Amino acid sequence: MRNQTQLANPCARPVPRQRQGGSTLSSMGRWGDDEKSALVALLRTRPSGMSWPEITAEVADTGSALRVWEAHLEPSLFAEPDDALHSAHADVTAWSAQDFEFLTFYDDRYPAQLREVHQMPPVLFTRGHLVPDDKAVSVVGSRRASDEALANATAIATELAKAGLTVLSGLAEGIDTAAHVAALASGARTVAIIGTGIEKSYPPSNRDLQAEISRRGLVISQFWPDATPSKQSFPMRNATMSAYGRATIVVEASEKSGTRIQARVAVAHGRPVILMDSVARGTKWGNALVGEPGVFTARTPEEAVERAHDLATEPDDLTYLLTAAKDL
């Protein structure tokens, strides 16, 4: 099975929240293996050069990956269409026997908050415990973090845990590792969204930490199980992390840090971003974000956590309206 890291293009059209005929993505169920296999085959073959977001959008529109597969069915120079479908079906069957869960965006166990953004991964592989309406806050920053930043990440994750929030990060070296370790030490839930396949660990030194998170929290991958890291996979992972969380706290970052991608994408997603003062003042991109809607600065870990808690626990607009309507 080939590695595949091509996924959401930020310039691609968003996946519609509502399909033709009135059915919405929020009212999904659970696909059988035939539909899942068709989606996998579509993503692998990319008929007519379609991007993954375009495939996802068309499947969401029609409500059936099989119908989309049949509509685009045509022999290639390399393999018959049925071969691709049979290969996908064999993998879907094999994945069901593994210790991870394979989800499509159409499954009811797929995290609903990911459906709100146009970088929605069409497939996920998870180990651990999926929690509906997970109130998670991303804690992200430099891989080569300073001692002060590592201490701040530990303090932030510890306080988020005390506040009953899920600590979300990317299992990278530095800030990510400090945040995950602090959450586990506090007995709290932590979620890792990784830039490799679910069967891989990167960096290799975090293999044991990844296993511990899968036992006590949740590990999520949007890549095929055996996919190795690539330059494209980590920005894609950051977009998914932004979408999964209620807010992002940037603890420390350099001018060219990959963390800036998550901060910018979070702003585009309408997710709040909290920049530690050193990031807001010490980087051009951080300074440029200050003043954008939903961007806040914090001088101390306590200030960052207080802001994150307020943002993560306030009801969304729909919840607020439904609650208000009941009170009338």
**Residue 199 pLDDT exceeds 50:** yes
pLDDT band at 175 (very low <50, low <70, confident <90, very high): very high
pLDDT band at 262 (very low <50, low <70, confident <90, very high): very high
CA 217 to chain centre: 15
Q: Compare 27 and 255 and report the one with higher pLDDT.
A: 255
**Cis peptide bond upstream of 293, omega within 30:** no
Same domain, yes or no: 298 and 177: yes
Q: How far is CA 71 from CA 7, 12, 41, 65, in A?
A: 22, 21, 13, 10
**Residue 7 pLDDT exceeds 50:** no
Q: Is 172 contained in some domain?
A: yes
H or E element in which residue 285 lies: helix 284-289
Same domain, yes or no: 39 and 149: no
Same domain, yes or no: 103 and 216: no
- 284: amino acid identity, one letter: K
CATH code for the domain in which residue 228 is found: 3.40.50.450
Q: CA–CA separation, 104 vs 235, rounded Å?
A: 21
Q: Is 264 contained in some domain?
A: yes
Same domain, yes or no: 259 and 168: yes
Q: What is the pTM of this model?
A: 0.86
Q: Is 11 contained in some domain?
A: no
Quote the percentage of the chain above a pLDDT of 90.
79
Given 125, 159, 186, the domain boundary residue is 125
Q: Dump pLDDT digits (tens) for 56-104.
A: 999 999 999 999 999 998 655 445 667 899 999 999 999 999 999 999 9
**Residue 19 pLDDT exceeds 60:** no
Phi, psi of 99 (to 5 degrees): -90, 15
Given 91, 125, 159, the domain boundary residue is 125
Q: Is 107 contained in some domain?
A: yes
**Residue 9 pLDDT exceeds 60:** no
What's the pLDDT score for residue 78?
Answer: 46
What's the pLDDT score for residue 12?
Answer: 36
Same domain, yes or no: 188 and 89: no
**Residue 326 pLDDT exceeds 50:** no
Q: Is 13 contained in some domain?
A: no
Same domain, yes or no: 202 and 99: no
In this structure, the strands spanning 247-252 and 218-221 are unpaired
Q: Compare 320 and 205 and report the one with higher pLDDT.
A: 205
Q: Compare 118 and 16 and report the one with higher pLDDT.
A: 118
What's the pLDDT score for residue 186?
Answer: 97
Angle at the Cα of 38 (from 36 to 39), degrees rounded to 5?
Answer: 65
Average pLDDT over residues 39-51: 95
Q: Is 20 contained in some domain?
A: no
In this structure, the strands spanning 247-252 and 190-193 are unpaired
Same domain, yes or no: 34 and 112: yes
Given 78, 105, 125, the domain boundary residue is 125
What's the pLDDT score for residue 47?
Answer: 93
What's the pLDDT score for residue 80?
Answer: 63
- 167: amino acid identity, one letter: V
Same domain, yes or no: 111 and 140: no
pLDDT band at 316 (very low <50, low <70, confident <90, very high): low
Same domain, yes or no: 255 and 157: yes
What's the pLDDT score for residue 324?
Answer: 38
Same domain, yes or no: 58 and 174: no
Q: Dump pLDDT digits (tens) for 211-239.
A: 999 999 999 999 999 999 998 899 999 99
Q: Is 207 contained in some domain?
A: yes
Same domain, yes or no: 216 and 120: no
How big is the chain, counted in residues?
328
Q: Do the Cβ atoms of 105 and 113 come closer than 8 Å? A: no
Count of domains for the chain = 2
Same domain, yes or no: 178 and 215: yes
Q: Is 130 contained in some domain?
A: no
pLDDT band at 16 (very low <50, low <70, confident <90, very high): very low
H or E element in which residue 208 lies: helix 207-216
52 lies in which domain range? 25-125
